[in-house]
Amino acid sequence: AGGGSPQPTATATTSDDGPVSGGVLVQTLPNDPGTLDMAVSTLQVTQTMGSNVFESLFALDKAFQPQPMLVDSVEMSDDRTVYTLGLRGGVTFHDGSELDSGDVAASLERFFTVSPSGAGVAADVVSVEAPDPLTVVITLAQPRHSLLGELAASAALILPEEIATAAGANPLTGAQTIGTGPYQLGQYQTGQSVTLERFDEYSARAEGDWGGQAGMKHAYLDGIEFRFVAEDSTVVNGLTTGQWQMSAPSNDQYSVLQANPNITLTPIAGGVVNTVILNHHPDSAFADVEARRALNLVINKEDMAAVSGTAPDLLTMTGAFQAPENAPLFSEAGTDVYESYDPERAKEQFATAGVDTIRMLVPSNFPQMVAWGNVLQQELTDIGLTVEIESYDLTTVRAKATDEPGSWDLSLTFISGTVVAPPLINWLQQKYIGGYQNDELDELFAEYAAAEDASAAKQVVDRIQQLVWDDIPSIVLYGSKQYVALDKSVKGFDGNFMLALYNTWLDAS
Amino acid sequence: MLGLILRRLRDLAIVLVLVGTAIFFIVRVIPGDAALAVAGDQATPEQVEAIREAMGLNVPLWQQYVTWFGQLLVGDFGTSTSFHTPVAPIILSHLLPTVTLALAATVLSIAITVPLSIGVALYPRNWLWRTVNRFTAVGIAVPEFWLALLLVTVFAVTFGAVPVSGWVNPFVDPAAGIPHLILPIVVLMVGQISTFALMLRDNLIGEMLQPYLRTARAKGARERRVFYRHALPNALLPAVTVVGNNLGTLLGGIVVLETIFVIPGLGSLLFQAVSTRDYAIIQGATIVIAIIFVVLNFIVDLIYLLLDPRVRVS
Amino acid sequence: MSALLRVTDFTVEVETDNGRLALAEEVGFAVRRGETLCIAGESGSGKSVTVLSIARLLEFTAPIRLSGSATLDGIDLVAQDQLEMSRLRGARIGVVFQEAMEALNPTMRIGAQLLEAFRLHAHPRRGVGRAELDRAGRAKALSLLTEVGMADPEAVMTQYPHQLSGGMQQRVMIAMALVGDPDLLIADEPTTALDVTVQAEILRLLRRLQRQRDMACVLITHDLGIAAEMADRIAVMYAGEIIESGPVEQMLRRPQHPYTKALLECVPRPGVRVAGRLRTIPGAVPAPGAKPPGDRFAPRNALATERCHTEPPPVLVDGDHMVRSWAPVTEWTPELVERLTGPEESPVDAARRAPGDAFLVLEHVNKTYARNARRQTTRADRRGAADVSVTRAVMDLSLTIRRGELFGVVGETGSGKSTLGRLMLDLEKPDPGSRIRLGEIEYGRRRRRRAELELRREIQAVFQDPHGSIDPRQTVAQAITEPMRQLLPIGRAERGRRVLELLDAVGLPATTARKYASELSGGQRQRVAIARAIAATPKLIVADEPTSALDVSVQGQIVNLLLELQRELDLTYVLITHNLSLITSIADRVGVMQGGRLLEVADAETLLRSPGHEYTRRLLESNPDPFAPRP
Amino acid sequence: MLAWLRRLWRRDREFVVWLAVLLLLLLVVVIGPSLLPSAYVQSPGERLQGPSGTHLLGTDGYGRDVLARVVEAGRTSLLIALVIAALATVLGSVIGLVSGFYAKSASVLMRAMDALMAFPGIVLSIALVAAIGTGALSEIVALSVVFTPYMARISRSRALHLAGRGYVLAARSAGVSGPRILLTHILPNALPTILVQSLLIFAAALLLDGTLSFLGMGVQPPTPTWGNMIAEARPYLSIAPTFVVAPGLAIVLAVVTLNAISAGLRSIVDPRARALASMFVMRRERRAPRRA
Ligand SMILES: Nc1ncnc2c1ncn2[C@@H]1O[C@H](COP(=O)(O)OP(=O)(O)OP(=O)(O)O)[C@@H](O)[C@H]1O
Ligand SMILES: Nc1ncnc2c1ncn2[C@@H]1O[C@H](COP(=O)(O)OP(=O)(O)OP(=O)(O)O)[C@@H](O)[C@H]1O
Ligand SMILES: [Mg+2]
Ligand SMILES: [Mg+2]
């Protein structure tokens, strides 16, 4: 039987301002990924739910730096190719078994094969060994600057060994959803709701000031219920009438909700990078760099931002491929190109490139993408191009883009502004639907991997960013922050970019 | 009579096989599959292929068809790629809200329509007649989803009289469950009542012209008796089939309303399954909807057969 | 002796969009207990409207206004409110309607319907409980059912109307009318839809009951033969007026109104062989809105004077007899009759048409239908009826039609007459093993279109229903052109000319060509159908009940036309009908059908004189004939 | 024409009024866009403004004029529904008339029609649209498939009825070939029924188009339809209610009009229906009888 609209009832009896224990928080998610498996499913909704349940060896702190999570100690060999990780003792899985190095090895193995980011790491990994129950040794073929960050990825989640082997490339089922996080899976009612329960044997870290996903986690809530509600207006209506306490409504609702005294709006750390994906297939209009530059010139990024409905305080009008808060990867190189806007010249350049028709694949699930598509269509039509729009749900767009690679010229997306290494930006990968390939970029990636320290790495990042605005593999429209709307009873939520709910509590008053 | 039922059952089976086959192939034509749906935007083709293989989606189409149909015959709808469990119980668990809505809306609509139409047929051209006529004309024309949006805004959001959305099993927890049902049922009833009232009114007026009523009057029956004892039952009889004929519209309305009111019924299951490309569920849910539709129609016909001696005894 | 029902100056008007319309005017008559009054007249003359208004039944379904008076035993029915009327109906007035099938509630058992009639007037008195009342009602119902001749009344009580045959339904109707032991029985064409044999039984039943119960009876009929058998008095209605009424003897033997006389003359006399033409009345009954100003019958009356056309005639009463006319005819001479109804050529011997050689030959023809196939459009059948039993519409029938003859087919409803006609026309495929041949053309063998057209050039059809026989979306010219376009090698202009010729041949003005079926009367439509049938100069015409939907006066016109055309065009006819008088008076040979079988074939005289089959004899006996000696 | 209208007016005022409404609707939809601001030109600076002098119904999320879009949407929706109705009518009546006239030979087709009718319309159209993709063309194909069986069923029963009429038999005896009879007798006489039904389908298609577009499976933005406008407007229901209300009212008006015209037509075609409509039924029994 369904859960109805349980009014959060704080059972604890502590003081007015401090955290209180108890209550069930209801959060809405737009759709059900069918699994909490963050290794297989890269969807945002999967991360939101899974981050309460699973943990990785490392975790990103509020500055997007990797910090140890399940490990206690990290030793790196001088040639930066052998990492010896000492695991934290006394960590138990939700099924009661204790974490050991075998679990880690098996989980990493799975991470390497199933996860997109894992595959990148795997290329450099020679071996993962477990010499004793609390030690894991990772041997690399060459130095890899981003390794710890990559191991901090949610996809590198740690599972019990049997489950990791059994699941393979399959998404984890409900019964296999066994992690080490502060919450464990209660009930998975596919399509309707997922309930998490507090995991009482959770062993928390002591560091309370790391922020982000790292450090101490405390499960104040008795439980969390994720309710799948697709319709934006339903989401807002439910929020205002107290049916649920936490949602991520569309941009347009921001100002409406802001006016509601019962609701707090919290920006999410990090942010997203809104991008026009260009197809580099030979049959595409954008196989020619001239056409790509022309497109950049014709796009009025301000209009794009405006039409998305994003509130001004959530906007960052930069062309960087990562969010400003993700300091290690944020670069302002090439801003002049980003800021240039000249439809007349664009028209000429399109003409020289011999482009007169643009075929757009627009994902219909996201209102802002539909909006960008519409504005883009108008801008292109205004300079005399023919625009053909096809609009499908995201899955279909992906299928079309992959199955008929020459049938489209551009599509739209937004990516996380908080990845840990440039090669993880999907539209820079050759395997991505855009099929972008650039030897210079590959060399830069290699240089990045080999970077000795953060400042060396940052320099490479700047060069990559510059290349991005020179060769334009895709066009960054602008950066923005997402926000969540919280009922005023929700306290302690720090706006972490996974929307993880540990350290959050419900205030009954 | 029995033979008639058997023949109808045979026709029903043929139709359902056609329905099943049609939906199997329609579903396969939808671009993208479950692997792509679960992998998300960041996955590379290799990873998608790996997931596809793990899910058993790379078997040839005809083989999938044969397997699926074979299993279907023994009541096995296959295994969901998003639930990782057999489809039949999933569908079963989503049946309750859909059926509850359908039945409640139908029963309530009939309960309102019958006295209303009687009033209209008895006293034509008065205010009631005009009001009902206008209501039915508009009621048939109102898109459910739109009406639902407006009613939610007015009654749920502004007045907070009823919940905005959601579902609580009203058989387990009536106090919480029934308020959740009010808006969707009201929306469904608007269409239902309009359709029924229109049909019933026409039937009644048509029946009022029948010669056998003159016979009743010639026997000395008063108008009240002529109406309630003769015209009304005979007008209600064929109206039974209207309930069946209208079932398609009703189910269609429920499918849409389930998404608006976040009701975990067959409709939202279907939508969910389309977005996750869960073939087994799409097929199962569609077939079950078709079965509900066809079987209920069959039952309605059967009731009609049983009630109407003109057809029953022949 | 005072009358039970006395109707005076009774006028019925209906409100229409174009104002009031009189349907019956200044009707007056009286019926005594034990007496039967027959109201006769052609269709649309206002018979039903009059009597149903007397019972005050019409106003429920039409906006009716009444004036004048109709007193039943001193109670003025016109002045009563309906509440009072509902006490009178059923108790003092019983009504029997025309289509019993439609007049019975289809979803109530016969028993329940009879009981209802009983309960409506048997009020529980002190000491008599409800149960007792019901028992009494049941007993009464059973005895009445027995009285109307039901073999197994118990079983009938539990049945539904559609399970009974038409005759049984009508008996139930009669029983129902009698439940309240009424003083007055109104019967509106109670036998019109029935076969003659059944009709005879029902009429006998009515007569018996009326005598036994000493009821006053008003019987409506359009068949003077029935009136002759049933009536003590006859009233003839025309265009909303009673134009003559009087005792039956006088009305049949010495009518004074030309219309009454003409109506009688139009009825074909069984056994009197007509070779030339039937007597007819020219023109047709006027519609309620289009009544002529003077004597309503004047426009069709060759004897009418100037005055008849302009001034309404006076009512002349002479004792029991009433006539509404300027010039009642007391002495009918053959010349007068001839002027009124056209010349009747002297009866010629049947042998006048020498039998030709065999033309249409049917050998062992069978036709089987899956039952219910015909009702495919009803809901129940769409859902698939299980009853796979079959109807054998035509059984092992062998028959030869000779060139130049007029072959008549008679038989009761469902005997397979129409099926036979369709088989002859090759519109229906006979069962395997059957052989039909027209001249050299074998029916089953023809595959090619040329052969098909060859057959069609030989044989054509005229169908019964005048409403359905012409496509409502076609002009008369188009309808007539259709067979020519298919079958004759002539051009457009030629066809146009021929349309006019044909219209002329069937007695229609050339202006008809541009009209649509809806603008024509039933008789005119049948003329068009005939024109279409002869358009492609066929040799054989199969006419399926060409006149049965028409009034007697018009029936004669159509039959005359057919006969005339036969003479001129050298046609062979197969004429299907259930009208025995008609067919025996015009056919060379007659075939009698029953239950799909051809019982006997004989020439008309032989058939009348010495019927070869028991069934034929019964048919002949049941045939109502106004000229037969009164019992 | 004028005389005909006058006659019609006297017979059935309401029908004439609805006809006028339909004409007006069509007129607005045809010439409206040229009088109003563009339905497409975006001005992100003027998003979501309330009704004003320049924008009678306000602006939408792209700063486009809502009134202009409602009118433009009417153009799309009406056209699509019209094409669907036309296709379903042609297909359905061909199937129905043929299988009704050649009663025995064509039951296979009707079985297929039954199978199609076993899906609730919306479910079938969702499945079909999902399979063949979104867009005007797919929607037209899908909805035509949905509505064809209804037309087939009606015209089939009509053809069955007509096949037994005397003039059809007469035509057959006159040697007119089957197809020609279908064309010259059955079709013209079934036409009124078909027309009445096709108007109903027109209305139903309009509703279903609304629903499909609302679910994002119909014509895709920026081309407006009434349904996708409502979908687009949903998030703004509390900010800009006219944006949701206007297209919905437009659907209701159009559907009511079409249904009314269909009903009026039916009463003209089938006089019985008219008699029913003007019937008066139960009378007071305690009233003195009316005397002339
Ligand atoms: N409600 C009505 N409104 C207008 N005209 C009517 C109405 N009822 C009957 N009539 C007309 O009144 C005339 C007389 O009808 P009526 O039924 O009495 O004829 P009838 O003599 O019984 O003929 P039939 O032999 O066909 O039964 C007909 O022309 C008929 O069309
Ligand atoms: N198309 C058909 N399908 C099924 N049964 C039919 C069909 N046509 C006729 N019958 C049946 O065949 C039998 C003979 O019918 P037919 O119409 O030939 O009789 P009829 O003598 O012309 O009767 P009527 O005098 O009523 O016209 C009837 O029982 C009828 O129900
Ligand atoms: Mg009559
Ligand atoms: Mg017949």
Whether residue C410 lies inside any domain: the answer is yes
Q: Looking at ligand 1, which residue's alpha carbon is closest to its atom 9?
A: C49
pLDDT digits (tens, 9 = 90+) for C468-496: 888 888 899 999 999 998 888 888 888 99
Structural domain count, chain C:
2
Whether residue C128 lies inside any domain: the answer is yes
Work out how many CB contacts closer than 8 A connect A with B: 166
Give the end-to-end CA distance of chain C in Å, rounded to a whole number. Answer: 25
pLDDT digits (tens, 9 = 90+) for C527-546: 899 999 998 889 999 999 88
Q: Do D235 and A371 touch (CB under 8 A)?
A: no
* Band of residue C145 on the pLDDT scale cut at 50, 70, 90: very high
User: Could you say which of C105, C120, C379 has the minimum Cβ distance to residue B212?
Assistant: C105
Give the integer Cα–Cα distance in Å for C480 and C402.
27
| C near A: at least 3 beta-carbon pairs less than 8 Å apart | no
Strand partners, C20: C15
pLDDT at A57 over 90: yes
- What DSSP character marks residue A92? B
Do the Cβ atoms of A310 and A368 come closer than 8 Å?
Answer: yes
Give the integer Cα–Cα distance in Å for C454 and C440.
10
pLDDT digits (tens, 9 = 90+) for D229-254: 888 888 777 777 888 899 999 999 99
> Which is higher by pLDDT, C371 or C118?
C118
Q: Looking at ligand 1, which residue's alpha carbon is closest to its atom 28?
A: C44
In the predicted model, what is the mean pLDDT of residues C384-398? Answer: 70
Residue for token digits 């078997």?
B59
Q: Looking at ligand 1, which residue's alpha carbon is closest to its atom 30?
A: C44
Assess whether the C-beta atom of C374 lies below 6 angstroms from ligand 2.
yes
Do the Cβ atoms of B215 and C97 come closer than 8 Å?
Answer: yes
Is this model's pTM higher than 0.90 or not?
no
Lowest mean pLDDT among B310-314, C230-234, C614-618: B310-314
Q: Do B164 and A237 touch (CB under 8 A)?
A: yes
Q: What local confidence, expressed as pLDDT, does residue C344 receive? A: 67
Three-class SS state of B112: helix
Could you give phi then psi for residue B144, rounded to 5 degrees?
Answer: -55, -45
State how far Cα A182 lies from the chain centre. Answer: 21
Instruction: State the DSSP string of D232-249.
Output: HHGGGTTT-HHHHHHHHH
Last residue of a domain, one of C127, C160, C181: C181
Range of the domain at C610: 400-622
Number of Cα atoms under 13 Å in the Cβ half of residue C154: 0
Q: What local confidence, expressed as pLDDT, does residue B313 receive? A: 54
Give the integer Cα–Cα distance in Å for C84 and C99.
27
Q: What ipTM, to 2 d.p.? A: 0.78
CA–centroid distance, residue C189 to ligand 3 (Å)? 7
* Band of residue C16 on the pLDDT scale cut at 50, 70, 90: confident
Q: Do A234 and B37 touch (CB under 8 A)?
A: no
pLDDT digits (tens, 9 = 90+) for B253-293: 888 898 888 888 888 888 888 777 788 888 888 888 888 88
* Band of residue C382 on the pLDDT scale cut at 50, 70, 90: very low
CA–centroid distance, residue C43 to ligand 1 (Å)? 8
Last residue of a domain, one of C181, C206, C224: C181
pLDDT at A15 over 50: no
In the predicted model, what is the mean pLDDT of residues A486-493? Answer: 91
- The CATH number assigned to the domain holding C577 equals 3.40.50.300
Lowest mean pLDDT among A278-292, C282-296, D42-56: D42-56
User: D256: which residues sit within 8 A by CB, 6+ positions away?
Assistant: B137, B138, B140, B141
Whether residue C309 lies inside any domain: the answer is no
**Which residues on A lie below 8 Å from D61 (Cβ)?**
252, 307, 309, 371
Three-class SS state of C178: helix
Q: What local confidence, expressed as pLDDT, does residue B125 receive? A: 64
* Band of residue C516 on the pLDDT scale cut at 50, 70, 90: confident
Whether residue C567 lies inside any domain: the answer is yes
Q: What local confidence, expressed as pLDDT, does residue D279 receive? A: 47
User: Could you say which of A4, A234, A399 has the minimum Cβ distance to residue B168?
Assistant: A4
Work out how many CB contacts closer than 8 A connect A with D: 61
D6 CB within 8 Å of a chain A CB:
no
One-letter identity of residue D252: V
Whether residue C137 lies inside any domain: the answer is yes
pLDDT at D49 over 80: no
Last residue of a domain, one of C125, C154, C181: C181
pLDDT at A6 over 70: no
**Which residues on D lie below 8 Å from C463 (Cβ)?**
166, 169-170
Do the Cβ atoms of C190 and C174 come closer than 8 Å?
Answer: yes
Assess whether the C-beta atom of C222 lies below 6 angstroms from ligand 1.
yes
Three-class SS state of A479: strand
* Band of residue C352 on the pLDDT scale cut at 50, 70, 90: low
Give the integer Cα–Cα distance in Å for A324 and A272.
10
**Which residues on C lie below 8 Å from B222 (Cβ)?**
82-83, 86
Assess whether the C-beta atom of C416 lies below 6 angstroms from ligand 2.
yes
Distance in Å, alpha carbon of A167 to nearest chain B alpha carbon = 9
Looking at every residue in chain A, the average pLDDT score rounds to 88
* Band of residue A16 on the pLDDT scale cut at 50, 70, 90: low
Whether residue C227 lies inside any domain: the answer is no
pLDDT at C153 over 70: yes
**Which residues on A lie below 8 Å from D236 (Cβ)?**
252
pLDDT digits (tens, 9 = 90+) for B157-203: 778 788 878 888 888 888 888 888 999 999 999 988 988 888 887 78
Q: What local confidence, expressed as pLDDT, does residue B42 receive? A: 63
In terms of phi and psi (left: phi > 0; alpha: psi -120 to 50; beta: otherwise), the region of A144 is beta
* Band of residue D115 on the pLDDT scale cut at 50, 70, 90: confident
pLDDT digits (tens, 9 = 90+) for D164-193: 888 898 898 888 888 999 999 999 989 988
User: Could you say which of C61, C159, C380 has the minimum Cβ distance to residue B209?
Assistant: C61
pLDDT digits (tens, 9 = 90+) for B132-161: 888 888 998 999 999 998 998 888 877 878
> How many other CB atoms are there within 10 angstroms of residue C491's CB atom?
9
Do the Cβ atoms of A360 and A389 come closer than 8 Å?
Answer: yes
* Band of residue C354 on the pLDDT scale cut at 50, 70, 90: low
Number of Cα atoms under 13 Å in the Cβ half of residue D188: 11
Q: What local confidence, expressed as pLDDT, does residue D288 receive? A: 52
pLDDT at C631 over 70: no
Whether residue C424 lies inside any domain: the answer is yes
Neighbours of chain B (3+ CB pairs under 8 A): A, C, D
* Band of residue D9 on the pLDDT scale cut at 50, 70, 90: confident
Tokens of D87: 């296709």
Assess whether the C-beta atom of C368 lies below 6 angstroms from ligand 2.
no
**Which residues on D lie below 8 Å from C536 (Cβ)?**
174
Residue of D103, D105, D164, D175 lying closest to C418 (CA atoms): D164
Percentage of chain C modeled with pLDDT above 70? 92
Give the integer Cα–Cα distance in Å for A61 and C398.
105
Give the integer Cα–Cα distance in Å for C393 and C385.
20
pLDDT digits (tens, 9 = 90+) for B217-232: 999 888 888 888 888 8
Looking at every residue in chain C, the average pLDDT score rounds to 85
CA–centroid distance, residue C414 to ligand 2 (Å)? 5
Assess whether the C-beta atom of C413 lies below 6 angstroms from ligand 2.
yes
Whether residue C233 lies inside any domain: the answer is no
